[in-house]
Chains A and B, each alone.
Chain A
Amino acid sequence: AQSVTQLDSQVPVFEEAPVELRCNYSSSVSVYLFWYVQYPNQGLQLLLKYLSGSTLVKGINGFEAEFNKSQTSFHLRKPSVHISDTAEYFCAVSWGTGGSYIPTFGRGTSLIVHP
């Protein structure tokens, strides 16, 4: 079965510092990649997605992610975080052609931004 691994369950960081949240998946064949954010007591909201084209993808709130096919990774980065970025972040992967369109989610990474 296909799998998605978020290596860190919790990432503490100080405000204005850079952050990277890691995501790896099990197979590189025709993937669609997503990062979602979940604020407390809310549903998941799409941050960014990679379907094809440029491997560097920019999303909302200053986040970006890079698709690395050889390393089967899709790490999320932000150069300078704010207190308001404190939330749960989920990586998700759909295996495209011939596969299911239903995404597989990672377990989530809790980003905690300290003042």
Chain B
Amino acid sequence: ETGVTQTPRHLVMGMTNKKSLKCEQHLGHNAMYWYKQSAKKPLELMFVYNFKEQTENNSVPSRFSPECPNSSHLFLHLHTLQPEDSALYLCASSQHGLAGTDSYEQYFGPGTRLTVT
């Protein structure tokens, strides 16, 4: 595997279900991100992890719970979601924070298309 992978690619869940999205980056980066992309809306940054520490949480509802066990893996745990949470969830990674190694650009996975029924 190369780049950033996400599983599953598609997910349909009921409002009472619990599920998790997985992201893995094979680029040796130290920062990872979750974004939400809804139709007709701008890309929304949800969470940022840098060296496994959460550095950003953009007022995301508690029904979304991130987990970053190491700098290669990122999870988004979902429970009691609402229909308006249906969207494409994108994971990204980048290299930042180490002198001389910053690349600044983000590398994105293909996304998980989530439908909440």
Which segment of B12-20, B72-80, B99-107 sits at the interface? B99-107
Whether A25 sits at the interface, judged by CB under 8 Å, is no
* B interface with A by C-beta (< 8 Å): 4, 6, 31, 33, 42-43, 45, 48, 56, 90, 92, 94, 96-97, 102, 104-111, 113
Least CB distance, B97 to chain A, in whole angstroms: 8
B42 touching A108, Cβ below 8 Å: yes
Of the residues A42, A49, A102, A107, contact of B111 by C-beta under 8 Å: A42
A45 interfacial by beta-carbon distance below 8 Å:
yes
- Nearest-neighbor residue (CB-CB) of A105 within chain B: B43
25 contacts between A and B (CB under 8 A): A32-B104, A34-B104, A36-B108, A41-B113, A43-B4, A43-B6, A43-B90, A43-B108, A44-B108, A46-B105, A46-B107, A49-B104, A49-B105, A90-B43, A92-B106, A94-B104, A101-B94, A102-B33, A102-B45, A103-B104, A105-B42, A106-B42, A107-B42, A108-B42, A108-B43
A-B interface pairs (CB < 8 A), number: 49
In the complex, the answer to whether A102 meets B56 with C-beta atoms within 8 Å is yes
The chain A residues found within 8 Å of chain B, CB to CB, are 32, 34, 36, 41-46, 49, 51, 90, 92, 94, 101-103, 105-108
